[in-house]
Structure 1
Amino acid sequence: MTDSPATRVDVTPAAADMLRRLAAVHGPLLFHQSGGCCDGSAPMCFPVGMFRTGGSDVLLGRLAVEGIDPVPVYMSASQFEYWKFTHLTIDLVDGRGSGFSVEAPEGKRFLLRSRMLSDAELAAFGLV
């Protein structure tokens, strides 16, 4: 879990535990913050190589989860324009999403929690 004022993304302990379990089965993972479609705007988790990112995606950061490879988190550039002033935390809740995220068979789903960036974070990202 990261707690630096200059991070855009973080993960809760519950989500980190699920990521460790999923990585043991699927190998290295990545998130892409969905902009709609299947599961609204849920963070979708995929094994690396199963979802292609491209020039229209922004790398928000890499989640440092003890025991597994860092987990990159992406979002489309157009969606990032709306979210660039927020800090995002990936959490885990009971329930099953309707998308293709790898946690779905576990009866859980990843959920995005957001808050506005602090003044220090805004300055660190050059947004003031």
Structure 2
Amino acid sequence: MTTRKASAGLAMTEVPEQVVTTPAAVELMSRLSNKHGELMFHQSGGCCDGSSPMCYPRGEFLVGDGDVLLATLGETPFYMSGSQFEYWKHTQLILDVVPGRGGMFSLENGEGVRFLIRSRVFTDAEIGALRLAGRI
């Protein structure tokens, strides 16, 4: 992370990560990459599997010009459509794992667990830092 001044009148703050992972998510990503090779995520916008984070073998999901690369989680890119990002840009996404069935097109389907997005709203200082960094 880079430390930058958030904006006039606000204290110095680090540019926050837009997507972070829980230990359970890291473990499942490791397990899936051992089975399927390099991975990628695309945050679903509500079609088919609701708004689940979808995990694919890297390159199997075609990323469009309108998709935004929000993070690289280890070596794994995490994308979201640009229009959906407009709604979520003030929010940190937390990639987690819970018991259940994964999305029908997502690699964790059949593992007995599924990826889940939790979130928190960035503070004013964090939003300022993200703006200065050109990330929102």
Please identify the structure whose Cα radius of gyration is greater.
2
The answer to whether the aligner puts 1:121 opposite 2:126 as a matched pair is: yes
User: Does the 8 Å CA contact 1:88/1:115 hold for their aligned counterparts?
Assistant: yes
In structure 2, the residue matched to 1:35 is: 45
In structure 1, the residue matched to 2:77 is: 72
Of the three residues 91, 96, 99, the one matched with 1:94 is 99
User: Does the 8 Å CA contact 1:39/1:99 hold for their aligned counterparts?
Assistant: yes
User: In the aligned structure 2, how far is the partner of 1:118 from the partner of 1:13?
Assistant: 24
In structure 2, the residue matched to 1:25 is: 35
User: In the aligned structure 2, how far is the partner of 1:86 from the partner of 1:12?
Assistant: 16
Unmatched tracts of structure 2, length 5 or more: 1-13
User: In the aligned structure 2, how far is the partner of 1:45 from the partner of 1:60?
Assistant: 15
- Could you list the runs of 4 or more consecutive aligned residues of structure 1 that deviate by over 4 angstroms after TM superposition? none
User: In the aligned structure 1, how far is the partner of 2:40 from the partner of 2:20?
Assistant: 13
In structure 2, the residue matched to 1:63 is: 73
Q: TM-score, normalised by structure 2?
A: 0.83
User: In the aligned structure 2, how far is the partner of 1:47 from the partner of 1:119?
Assistant: 36
The answer to whether the aligner puts 1:15 opposite 2:25 as a matched pair is: yes
Identity percentage over the alignment? 56
RMSD between superposed Cα atoms in Å: 1.6
